[in-house]
Structure 1
Amino acid sequence: MLKDTHSSAGSSPVWDELNRAQPDTTQLDNIKTQIDLVLLALESLAGIGSEAMLQAASALNLESKIPDRVTLWRLRQSNPLRKGEGGRKKLDIEEARSLVLISCFLAKQHQELIRRAIDLLEQAAQNDSEPHRTAMLGDYLDAFNNTYLERMEDDRNISTENLTQLAFKLLVDLLFYSSPGGHRRLWLALLDRSQK
């Protein structure tokens, strides 16, 4: 069913919708970081890895853009915050769109889990309790913080409080990206954030 909706990614209605808003070169550079962080939040919450991302690429008929783990790794390494120089490459607009579609596809697959996490976050806020004391949110925060500190260059420049705020902001964002039209919301959010 998904293959029909996204058949031939280069000419699908979803792809055409993403084509309407064209980022300039500077925006595209900034978008790399944001997409990688969205994927990092999904990884941390749902425990997914590159295999799930490649399966999503296959289901969305995007194998020509992201055919294997090496390509996926190189695209994610294009995030300027990432440690290491080995895989860096420029992210082109087609690859950015592909990662947006994959991110939203995976968010939709894990929507129930995302909703549960958001419910727990809201309960913690209502009860004026620390969210990390809830097992699910604590596990998410640990996974997010550890992965961020392991992969990103600015690991010494970000406080634990800021990292926690980033993790929870991305969690809330995932709920929007998992809904119908999530790909459009994510693309517009990426364009908006890339101008700041």
Structure 2
Amino acid sequence: MRPSLQAVPTPASFADLPLAQPPDGQQLENIKSHLDLILLALESLAGLSSEAMLQAAKELNLEAVIGDRVTLWRLRQSNPLRKSSGGRKKLDVEEARSLVLIICHLARQQQDDIRRACALLEQMTEQGQEPHRAALLGDYLDNFSNTYQERMEEGEAIASASLVGLALKLLIDLLFYGAKNGHRRLWLALIDQGKT
């Protein structure tokens, strides 16, 4: 039997993720959408699978919150931007915090690729060239766009330039989330963004 969330000891890192007041329903909707998009960016850049995400949960002692593929799938399906295929659930604050820690852990593991991609983006921008002309960025942008269009409700309707802009913003964000205290930076950005 799976332990209840109240019985689960909270990781010390949760202390770095303050919350003055619980987010309302709309804030949680915004938070879970953004978390799923960041995971999509990580998947697109590094080819990460759900297995890698579950391994990160294990390494962070978060198995009681996110311990199997079904739980992870249901959390990701809770993104209101996704095409409905059932299994949606409400995301609670502990699950959101857990996803923040997992994302930042994975971003640290993928820091070399993230830095290389960001350096290429800077180089291409300075040279006035399209980012997709660099192989690493081109693959990332293609993977992100294809997966977004496949999974998200508005995927078919969104303009290609908007998707590229979103993918590049998330890539730059990952650079910061993989740094020291990245989990705190991401959490504060989510809380701030959740209010809008």
2:135 partner letter: A
User: What is the DSSP-based 3-state SS (H/G/I as helix, E as strand, rest coil) of the residue aligned with 1:98?
Assistant: helix
What's the counterpart of residue 33 of structure 2?
Answer: 33
User: What is the DSSP-based 3-state SS (H/G/I as helix, E as strand, rest coil) of the residue aligned with 2:17?
Assistant: helix
Q: TM-score, normalised on structure 2? A: 0.93
2:38 partner letter: V
User: What is the DSSP-based 3-state SS (H/G/I as helix, E as strand, rest coil) of the residue aligned with 1:103?
Assistant: helix
Aligned in 2, Cα 1:60/1:11: closer, same or farther, shift over 3 Å?
Answer: closer
User: What is the DSSP-based 3-state SS (H/G/I as helix, E as strand, rest coil) of the residue aligned with 1:89?
Assistant: coil
| Superposition deviation, residue 19 in structure 1 | 3.3
Q: Could you list the per-position Cα deviations for residues 94-127 of structure 1 after superposition, in whole angstroms to 9, with x for gaps in the alignment?
A: 0000000000000000001100000000000010
Question: 1:44, 1:140 within 8 Å by CA — same for their partners in 2?
Answer: yes
RMSD over aligned Cα atoms: 1.2
What's the counterpart of residue 192 of structure 1?
Answer: 192
What's the counterpart of residue 15 of structure 2?
Answer: 16
1:15 partner letter: F
What's the counterpart of residue 121 of structure 2?
Answer: 121
What's the counterpart of residue 106 of structure 2?
Answer: 106
Distance 1:157 1:92 in 2: 30
Question: 1:111, 1:178 within 8 Å by CA — same for their partners in 2?
Answer: yes
**What residue ranges of structure 2 are gaps of 5+ in the alignment?**
1-7
Q: Could you list the per-position Cα deviations for residues 116-150 of structure 1 after superposition, in whole angstroms to 9, with x for gaps in the alignment?
A: 00000000001000110110000000000000000
1:38 partner letter: I
Q: Which runs of 4+ in 1 moved over 2 A?
A: 19-23
User: What is the DSSP-based 3-state SS (H/G/I as helix, E as strand, rest coil) of the residue aligned with 1:153?
Assistant: coil
**What residue ranges of structure 1 are gaps of 5+ in the alignment?**
1-7
The 5 Å alignment of 1:94-173 reads 94-173=94-173
Q: Which has the higher helix share?
A: 1
Query: How high is the sequence identity, in percent, across the aligned residues?
Result: 63
Question: 1:81, 1:154 within 8 Å by CA — same for their partners in 2?
Answer: yes
Question: 1:144, 1:167 within 8 Å by CA — same for their partners in 2?
Answer: yes
Distance 1:85 1:171 in 2: 27
What's the counterpart of residue 5 of structure 1?
Answer: none
Q: How many residues align?
A: 188
Question: 1:30, 1:194 within 8 Å by CA — same for their partners in 2?
Answer: yes
Distance 1:173 1:9 in 2: 29
Q: Could you list the per-position Cα deviations for residues 7-63 of structure 1 after superposition, in whole angstroms to 9, with x for gaps in the alignment?
A: x86041x21121344442221121010000000000000000100000000000000
Distance 1:145 1:115 in 2: 21
| Superposition deviation, residue 195 in structure 1 | 1.6
